[in-house]
């Protein structure tokens, strides 16, 4: 995951976005230009498919007030001519199991947040495994309420905003939802001979009551559909919808999740950017097999008398191109000049290595590259007395789900202040060259830092990066 902790205020609530008239004239935007002067594309909202114009980066940076996070999925799929293609697609443009869920569970401990923003913390934490009801969705966030035994605990009875990546569908006590993929007639009986009373438009979510072979009984609101009938349910054909079971990927012994395009014509892109090259246009029926995810930051600017515009912030770094995940043998890994290596004491065969990129293995033989670290080397470490307590450290990044996702664990502001207080000099540069676990809890850690001086500086933390002590 990208460095998010040092950002200025990160607000992720979608604002009201009125129709912007005379946008080009108001902004002086040049449309359709491929020159460097054309600048950065701007959008009415992050999930918009098409840009509304372009503007210079300095102008955008100077006027950015809020920042929104948008998750992109890296996927592969088969084209109509049987080619395998790799690419990126925004979370807003795909159907996921979570989107078809009303009940979910947390995959990790999460802070209690009052808004869809990384810094809107209220001090409490929602524990890993807590069952929640999903009340609202906004981009890559969900507003949830804790259910069951955790609900009465202090402030946890109130609503909280959680990143979607920290939630997984709870298979039990679920209200099954169906996503309509094409115009679907509604009948009072599961029989094609029964005349339809109305129809569902595509791209609609409906609640499933029961199933009968090729038919589904679903909830309907007769009043909203102008039926003039006192009915609450109707029948639709199963083939016209997607269910959560359609979002399961099976490949031999491997079972995972896939996603589906929300509609036909969506672009699969070469990088997690809305302006990246189009790999292929999606038909709307293919399964997109998940390989990983990455966040894109969007900055919001406000134009007087016209409302809000959003632009993709890339921090000057090139986004990762979509290519098949790199897999190496142990011999191939060592030949890349091994930088660091760590092994788990609780999961046999589970190891992580840094060798012009970060790789992990579950059998000690085949190493799969973690694509988000590109070709960078980081010191690595693994702690945890059991698989449930496993913690993966890759430099300043931490994973508690065996390498599927990473977040930053070092409070850099406090680290810099500790060094400045101890040495009297602020560090001009800082490179993490070594990482040592002092205990197996993952809380006590010793770091060796290259500050560009004659000798490295060693610091330690007893609370997993919240505070540091300089060891001279």
Question: 177-242 adopts what CATH topology?
Answer: SH3 type barrels. (2.30.30)
Percentage of the chain beyond pLDDT 90 is 25
**Block residue for tokens 């559909």:** 225
Residue 64: HSE in the Cβ half-sphere, 13 Å Cα cutoff: 24
| Residue extents of the structural domains in the chain | 102-169, 177-242, 327-408, 412-471
pLDDT on residue 106: 93
8 Å CB contact between 217 and 233:
yes
- Whether 187 and 197 have beta carbons less than 8 Å apart is answered as yes
> DSSP string covering 254-292, please?
EEEEEEEESSTTPEEESSSSTTSPEEEE--SS--EEEEE
Q: What string of pLDDT tens digits covers the 472 residues of the chain?
A: 333 332 322 233 223 333 222 222 223 333 333 333 457 888 888 888 888 888 888 888 888 888 888 999 998 888 888 788 889 999 999 999 999 988 999 998 888 888 887 778 887 889 989 999 999 988 889 999 998 755 545 445 679 999 999 999 888 777 889 999 989 999 999 999 999 988 898 888 999 999 888 999 998 876 556 556 667 888 999 999 999 888 876 544 445 678 999 988 999 998 888 888 888 999 888 889 888 888 888 988 987 766 789 999 875 444 444 445 578 888 888 877 888 999 998 888 899 999 988 999 988 888 988 877 877 888 999 998 888 888 999 988 898 888 878 888 888 778 888 888 888 777 767 788 888 888 888 899 998 888 877 788 899 999 988 898 988 6
What pLDDT is stored for residue 418 in this prediction?
86
Q: Which run of H or of E encompasses 307? A: strand 307-313
Same fold, 102-169 and 177-242: yes
pLDDT at 152: 44
Distance CA 217, CA 188 (A): 9
Provide the phi-psi class of 276: left if phi over 0, else alpha when psi is between -120 and 50, else beta: beta
pLDDT of residue 281: 93
CATH class held by domain 102-169: mainly beta
- Provide the phi-psi class of 25: left if phi over 0, else alpha when psi is between -120 and 50, else beta: alpha
């Amino acid at each position: 995951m990208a460095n998010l902790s040092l950002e200025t205020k990160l607000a992720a609530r979608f604002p009201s976005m009125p129709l912007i008239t005379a946008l080009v004239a108001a902004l002086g935007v040049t449309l359709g230009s491929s020159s460097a002067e054309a600048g950065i594309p701007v959008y009415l909202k992050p999930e918009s498919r098409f840009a509304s114009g372009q503007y210079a980066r300095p102008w955008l940076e100077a006027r950015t007030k809020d920042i929104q996070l948008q998750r992109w999925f890296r996927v592969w799929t088969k084209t109509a001519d049987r080619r395998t293609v790799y690419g990126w697609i925004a979370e807003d443009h795909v159907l996921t199991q979570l989107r078809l869920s009303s009940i979910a569970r947390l995959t990790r401990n999460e802070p209690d947040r009052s808004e869809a923003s990384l810094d809107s913390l209220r001090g409490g934490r929602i524990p890993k495994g807590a069952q929640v009801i999903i009340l609202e969705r906004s981009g890559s966030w969900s507003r949830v309420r804790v259910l069951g035994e955790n609900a009465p605990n202090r402030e946890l009875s109130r609503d909280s905003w959680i990143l979607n990546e920290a939630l997984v569908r709870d298979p039990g006590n679920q209200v099954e939802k169906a996503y309509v993929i094409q115009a679907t007639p509604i009948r009072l009986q599961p029989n094609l001979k029964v005349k339809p009373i109305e129809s569902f438009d595509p791209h609609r979510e409906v609640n499933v009551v029961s199933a009968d072979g090729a038919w589904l009984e679903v909830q309907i609101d007769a009043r909203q559909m102008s039926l003039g009938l006192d009915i609450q349910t109707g029948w639709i054909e199963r083939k016209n919808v997607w269910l959560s079971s359609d979002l399961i990927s099976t490949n031999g012994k491997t079972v995972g999740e896939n996603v589906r395009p929300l509609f036909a014509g969506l672009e699969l892109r070469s990088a997690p950017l809305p302006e990246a090259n189009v790999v292929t246009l999606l038909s709307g029926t293919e399964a997109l097999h998940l390989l990983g995810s990455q966040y894109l930051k969007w900055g919001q600017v406000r134009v007087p008398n016209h409302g809000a515009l959003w632009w993709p912030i890339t921090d000057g770094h090139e986004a990762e191109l979509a290519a098949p995940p790199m897999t190496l043998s142990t011999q191939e890994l060592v030949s890349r000049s091994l930088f660091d290596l760590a092994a788990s004491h609780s999961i046999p065969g589970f190891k992580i290595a840094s060798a012009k990129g970060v790789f992990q293995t579950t059998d000690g033989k085949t190493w799969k590259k973690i694509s988000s670290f590109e070709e960078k080397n980081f010191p690595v470490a693994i702690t945890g007395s059991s698989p449930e307590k496993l913690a993966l450290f890759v430099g300043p990044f931490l994973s508690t789900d065996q390498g599927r996702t990473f977040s930053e664990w070092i409070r850099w502001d406090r680290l810099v202040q500790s060094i400045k207080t101890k040495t009297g000099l602020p560090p001009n540069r800082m490179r993490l060259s070594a990482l040592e676990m002092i205990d197996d809890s993952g809380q006590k850690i010793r770091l060796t830092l290259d500050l560009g001086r004659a000798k490295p500086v060693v610091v330690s933390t007893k609370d997993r990066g919240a505070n540091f002590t300089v060891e001279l």
